[in-house]
Structure 1
Amino acid sequence: MAFQIARLSGYSSAAIAAGIKHVRKRLAIDLARERKDSTDKTGRSNLSKLKRLRLVAGYALRYKGLGFASLLALGVAAAANLAAIGALQPVIDKGFGGEDPDAINRAFAILFGIVTVLAIAAACRAYFVTLLGERVVADLRRAAHARVVSLHPSFFEENRPSEIASRLTADAGVIQQVVSTSVSIALRNTALFIGGLSMMVIYNPGLMAIITVAIPVIIAPIVYLGRKVRALSRSSQDRIADVASMATESLGAIEVVQAFTREEAEKERFGSAVEAAYSTAQRRIRARSTMAGVVVFLISSAITFILWQGAQEVVAGRMTGGEMAAFVGYAVMAAAAAGAVVEVYGDLQRAAGAAGRLGELLDARTDLVVRADPLSLPQPLEGRVSFQQISFSYPSKPGIAALKDFTLEAAPGESVALVGPSGAGKSTVLQLLLRFFDPQSGAVLLDGVNIRDVEPVDLRNQLAIVPQETVIFADTVRENIRYGRPDAGDDEVEAAARAAVAHDFIMELPEGYEAWLGERGVRLSGGQRQRLAIARAILRDAPVLLLDEATSALDAQAEQSVQRALEHLMEGRTTILIAHRLATVLKADRIVVLEDGHVVASGRHEDLLQKSPLYARLAQLQFDVDAAQDLARPTAVL
């Protein structure tokens, strides 16, 4: 987040232009994909591309009861529609002739009964199908989120969290609409289409043969234009994700945006993204509207021709007026059903694109390999940490070594401070111990056990971390502290807050420990947020403690109090800390100096000032040695 805020604070016109260029580049890629899809030479039907919806079908099949009830209600409703048209034939043939006046009463009584059944079936269909859609989307969202939170951090280097959120919300919403509405309409109208065609064959096979010839003419543009709609639907969802991502980024750093008077620049960036989304949606709507218009024209023309042919049959005496009316009714029903299916087909294409994007999340796999039979860590854990000849490069920067032949031993209960210039590999050490990444060579051991052989959850349960960039969740104060140990009681939470010198400011909040902190803890100062993070680590009570400059956001008075709390917390625990301030360095049992990913010196503060030119320079520039001789005043943050 700090990196994102730094980026937001320095937008130039060139950066804005680069952002617009990026959006245009993405549009060009989508257009190329669209052209590729529209000129696919593999011979596969566009229907095969709807296989992405198998993901949705798989989740729907988990609820066979709801699915069966939906199909039963749908079948009854379709049968009632077909029966209603058939009930009108005797009315026309006999009732209007006056030979049997009661025929009209009987026919309309039957029709009333059919309509009643139709209404009940339609209501049941709407209920069961909508409920099934909501259930399927809820499961999809949970599964996708569960997959994402377990993924390797490198995944988030290439996939923006805001875009992932868009997939969980906007894309899932498209699927919900399709499953709850569009699929139901498609199935209903497919049944009506097939039923209508079947009844037309029964009433007049000759006229039906003419319609059979026209069907391929109607289907061809559906396949061709449907392919374009599918490609544009995927592009449209991507552009919506870009809009959501940009809004999240700028609104998440609104104070920086306004402080640097970048409102107009942000408006231009967001406006460009919105226009790109609109442009893509416009092309999608144009393709979909063209498809609907062409199909409606072809179907209407076919109906007109059938009416003309039917009139000829009645005049020649080969059909009765009632049969002609019923045949035309079924033809109109089949045509209307075909038109509805065509309309829904566009929605299915959108859902296929959305399902594909969600499927990518569900198919994503972590880069961490977990043993099928993981080892257990010793209990109780002593906390001996060992880095043995580690070489590591981040996946996004494979040619740049973050650590090179790095070796470090931390004895149980020892506190080790890591210092060094930016990019020396300090944070990488913590990430490897947390097993967010695995080194390309070497091993990280905890009490003599290679952490590669341990279940990551079991490993991390033995670690507590206080990051420099504090994370506060949109929840109460109590639950934010309890995040460190969910089974902790209220008394334990408050004891941890007191130890972190947080209790007093918490009690000053309107609702105390039950105060709602808002997204990212916007109601608290930086120092208050950091003290909550320290309380969270204290509550976790883990044998290994990781501190990424845990007092960097505190004022001098609060820092002295929290330092005492941390000293108490560090007793009996192995502590690895990244040090940016002299007060933190002096409290460590040992100081390790890193440069370019490897250890260049190790020892106490006074010794390192004499034997390590790098440390002496860091002490002069970063730790403010002269001012630090008076320990009553901590130095500035790096």
Structure 2
Amino acid sequence: MSMHSPAGGPGGMGGRTMRTFTQDRSVADHRLARDTLRRVLRFARPYRGRLTFFLVLLAVDAAAGAATPLLFRHLIDDGIAQGDRGLVVALGLAAAGLALVSAGLAVVERWVSAHVGEGLVLDLRTAVFDHVQRMPLAFFSRARTGALVQRLNGDVLGAQQAFTSTLQTVVSNSLTVAFTLGAMVVMSWQLTLLALVLLPAFVLPARWFGRRLADLTRRTYELNADAGQLMNERFNVAGAHLAKVFGDPARESARYAAQARALRDVGVQRALVSTWFRVGLTTLASVAIALVYAVGGLQAITGTLTVGVVVALTAYLGRLYGPLTALSNVQVDVMTALVSFERVLEVLDLVPSVAEKDDADDLRAAVAAAGASIELDHVQFRYPGTDEVSLASLEPAAPLGKDTVTDTLHDVSLSAPAGAMVALVGPSGAGKTTVSQLVSRMYDPTSGAVRIAGVDLRDVTFESLRATVGVVSQEAHLFHDTVAANLRYARPEATDSELEAAMRAARVWDLVASLPQGLHTVVGDRGYRLSGGERQRLAIARLLLKAPDVVVLDEATAHLDSESEAAVQAALDTALAGRTSLVIAHRLSTVRQADLIVVLDDGRVVEQGTHTQLLDADGLYAELYRTQFAPASAQPAGAPSTAEPGPVSGTGRGGSPPSPAPSPSPRP
């Protein structure tokens, strides 16, 4: 008898049977997409040889398990009853041999299923990860990170069950039931019928307990998710800072304790229901065996049956009720696995709105030949609606639907020759950041074209675009890794000496050299161990290491104190030298020396020109400039004027760069 069978004996019927009944039965009502099963089988194609071998092993194992009670029957009737010592020894050794064969089959089955299952997990995870990486920025701005991670973890593992646990459960239990019923009917159809009459006493309570366990399991998942969300928000560095500034430790502890108590209570309920479930199955099995012994014993006394047949039938009962009970819930098992597969396929079916053409060109060749000029040609743009870039299951708090979207940019045209600096200014919401995101191809224009070196960005490879365009934003993001790893993210093959050169140019080497582990210092979550100015200079060093031909600065000096801003601006001088640059800044003093200033308002270009030309035109730029420096006119006589500050290096041409400001001490 197979020792690893889901129904290895009366005491073992609760194992896999109980697990299958803890699943949510409502999933059985889910309507699968028409081609889901076909696509599932496509993922299994590389493993069809191993899966076939796996099914053969299950059949051999089920047959070996069914043969064991027959050996016991002959051992009792033909060996013990007849006093044939040789036959008793032979049949006992045969039964022991079958047990060894069954144990060996269990190991081989697990080896095969592990290879198939882990291979599928690898295939699915890499497929989802690679596909999600190709999704546009709009997708990540809406999808919950936790939901995406769940697709890579929980749903992928659930999909794996289709070819491992679920397949094994269905095939093994079906074969076990077939072999067992066949042998029982041959020995005594009357006792077999009695065993089947008792089956509802197993299935009906099991289904009730199953619904209760499924509800408790679902509640456990929800409570664990809530507790995990609370810990994630409070234990990341930004959340911990907010909690320490505004929070109340006692209130936070009470909130978490309430969630923990709820988990405890549900855990106790699950333990009790599970115990009743196991005890109930075991008791019913014992009662059924007792009845078969009683009825079969009476038949043995009258000579209708032999003692060996009665013993064999009771042994078969242990192999019958567990698999039959589990098979009564097989639809839930299969649908659970297929729904997990469908959720994975749902992500894989999302079509990236920003995609690379099959015959895309290398932008670097065009830049080398014509220079890194930038051109926006009658660009119209609207941000995609939620139904175009997201899934309802990835953002359940905001049901998908048709958004009312309006254009963000209206017929925008501008041109920057190679090596020139173009500044984008205007009120908040004018479309400045949108223009910068089009140049780095985070989005594609709704109409019109964005070109670098005369080539439409929709016609170039992503690799060559990444190599050509570098971006420094106002929130420099650093991974929770070392300084060196964060810099090498832009150029993995860079040597330590190249890292040092980039950091010297970015005015941050002295800081890094003073750190306890130097280049190998871990910067913390989002670089939180460093100040804002230090993070910005490391971001500039990363950009210098990449050495792009086009630089996009999106408020790179916003929110910095004057000392940090001076150091960052000095680093930007080096970063912009000889490169085409697109600079967004609210502080107009930082863009006065730009080759071209483009003024945007409500998604339209309303003015273009140099600083002097735009002041003379007395339009929106002049109004913004006067507004920004208006307080200077109210200063007391003799106070230093700020109405016309000197050129600030980093975003201007001409003017001497200021001396680098001393770096603030790194946070411990």
C-alpha RMSD of the superposition: 4.3
2:540 corresponds to:
534
Whether the 8 Å contact between 1:509 and 1:515 is mirrored in structure 2 is yes
Instruction: Please report how far the alpha carbon of residue 466 of structure 1 lies from its aligned counterpart in structure 2 after TM superposition.
Output: 0.8
1:130 corresponds to:
114
Instruction: Please report how far the alpha carbon of residue 465 of structure 1 lies from its aligned counterpart in structure 2 after TM superposition.
Output: 0.7
Q: Which whole-Å CA distance do the structure 2 matches of 1:239 and 1:298 have between them? A: 34
1:150 corresponds to:
134
| Unpaired runs of at least 5, structure 2 | 1-23, 386-402, 633-640, 650-668
1:203 corresponds to:
187
CA distance 1:271–1:406, shift in 2 (3 Å): farther
Whether the 8 Å contact between 1:390 and 1:403 is mirrored in structure 2 is yes
Where in structure 2 are the equivalents of 1:64-463 lying within 5 Å?
Answer: 64=48, 66-68=50-52, 70-174=54-158, 184-185=168-169, 187-205=171-189, 207-208=191-192, 244-245=228-229, 247-252=231-236, 253=238, 254-261=240-247, 310-311=296-297, 313-340=299-326, 350-377=336-363, 378-380=366-368, 382-396=371-385, 398-463=404-469
Instruction: Please report how far the alpha carbon of residue 534 of structure 1 lies from its aligned counterpart in structure 2 after TM superposition.
Output: 0.8
Q: Which whole-Å CA distance do the structure 1 matches of 2:281 and 2:248 have between them? A: 49
**So what's the TM-score if we normalise by structure 2?**
0.75
Q: Which whole-Å CA distance do the structure 2 matches of 1:322 and 1:155 have between them? A: 68
Aligned partner (choices 503, 512, 529) of residue 518 of structure 2: 512
Whether the 8 Å contact between 1:292 and 1:342 is mirrored in structure 2 is no
Instruction: Please report how far the alpha carbon of residue 127 of structure 1 lies from its aligned counterpart in structure 2 after TM superposition.
Output: 3.3
Q: Residue 474 in 1 paired to residue 480 in 2? A: yes
Percent identical among aligned pairs is: 34
Instruction: Please report how far the alpha carbon of residue 515 of structure 1 lies from its aligned counterpart in structure 2 after TM superposition.
Output: 2.2
Instruction: State the Cα deviation string for residues 382-427 of structure 1 (Å, max 9, x = none).
Output: 1222212222221246433321222221121111111122111111
Instruction: Please report how far the alpha carbon of residue 200 of structure 1 lies from its aligned counterpart in structure 2 after TM superposition.
Output: 2.0
**So what's the TM-score if we normalise by structure 1?**
0.79
CA distance 1:587–1:275, shift in 2 (3 Å): farther
Q: Which whole-Å CA distance do the structure 2 matches of 1:421 and 1:522 have between them? A: 30
Q: Which whole-Å CA distance do the structure 1 matches of 2:415 and 2:156 have between them? A: 48
Instruction: State the Cα deviation string for residues 227-280 of structure 1 (Å, max 9, x = none).
Output: 999899889867766665554344332212321226677678878988999999
Where in structure 2 are the equivalents of 1:528-607 lying within 5 Å?
Answer: 528-552=534-558, 554-607=560-613
Q: Which whole-Å CA distance do the structure 2 matches of 1:195 and 1:162 have between them? A: 46
Whether the 8 Å contact between 1:243 and 1:273 is mirrored in structure 2 is yes
Instruction: State the Cα deviation string for residues 117-146 of structure 1 (Å, max 9, x = none).
Output: 222222232333234333322332222111
Instruction: Please report how far the alpha carbon of residue 163 of structure 1 lies from its aligned counterpart in structure 2 after TM superposition.
Output: 2.1
1:27 corresponds to:
none
Instruction: Please report how far the alpha carbon of residue 467 of structure 1 lies from its aligned counterpart in structure 2 after TM superposition.
Output: 1.5
Match of 2:319, as an amino acid? M
Q: Which whole-Å CA distance do the structure 1 matches of 2:33 and 2:205 have between them? A: 16
Whether the 8 Å contact between 2:209 and 2:277 is mirrored in structure 1 is yes
2:499 corresponds to:
493
CA distance 1:222–1:596, shift in 2 (3 Å): farther
CA distance 1:68–1:239, shift in 2 (3 Å): farther
Partner-residue secondary structure (3-state), 2:46: coil
| Unpaired runs of at least 5, structure 1 | 1-33
Instruction: Please report how far the alpha carbon of residue 430 of structure 1 lies from its aligned counterpart in structure 2 after TM superposition.
Output: 1.3
Whether the 8 Å contact between 2:367 and 2:453 is mirrored in structure 1 is no
Deviates more, 1:334-343 or 1:518-527: 334-343
Q: Which whole-Å CA distance do the structure 2 matches of 1:292 and 1:363 have between them? A: 42
Match of 2:642, as an amino acid? A
Instruction: Please report how far the alpha carbon of residue 209 of structure 1 lies from its aligned counterpart in structure 2 after TM superposition.
Output: 5.6
Whether the 8 Å contact between 2:62 and 2:175 is mirrored in structure 1 is yes
Q: Which whole-Å CA distance do the structure 1 matches of 2:482 and 2:572 have between them? A: 24
Whether the 8 Å contact between 1:435 and 1:451 is mirrored in structure 2 is yes
Q: Which whole-Å CA distance do the structure 2 matches of 1:272 and 1:399 have between them? A: 42
Instruction: Please report how far the alpha carbon of residue 507 of structure 1 lies from its aligned counterpart in structure 2 after TM superposition.
Output: 1.2
Q: Which whole-Å CA distance do the structure 2 matches of 1:59 and 1:147 have between them? A: 16
Whether the 8 Å contact between 2:117 and 2:163 is mirrored in structure 1 is yes
